[in-house]
Structure 1
Amino acid sequence: MRKVGVDTNLGTIFLSETVGTAMLLLLGGGVVANVILKGNKGFGGGWLLINFGWGLAVFAGVTVSYASGAHLNPAVTFGLLAAGKITAAAGSNVFVTVIIYLLGQLLGAFIGAVLVWLAYKDHFDAEEDPGAKLGVFSTGPAIRSYAWNFITEVIGTFVLVFVVIGFGKAGDPDTNTPAGLAALGALPVALLVVAIGASLGGPTGYAINPARDIMPRIAHAILPIKGKGGSDWSYAWVPIAGPIVGGLLAGWLSLVLLP
Structure 2
Amino acid sequence: PKHDYAYHTEAMDRAQEGGIDDVGLGVLFGLEGYRYEFAGLLMHAEHLEAVHGVGPHTISVPRVKKADDIDPEAFDNGISDEIFEKIIALIRVAVPYTGMIISTREGKNVREKALELGISQISGGSRTSVGGYVEEEPEDDNSAQFDVSDRRTLDEVLNWLITLGYVPSFCTACYREGRTGDRFMSLCKSKQILNCCHPNALMTLKEYLEDYASEDTKKKGLAMIESELKKIPNEKVRQLAARHLAEISEGKRDFRF
TM (norm. structure 2) is 0.27
Structure with larger Rg: 2
Higher RCO, 1 vs 2 (CA within 8 Å, ≥6 residues apart) = 1
More strand by share: 2
More helix by share: 1
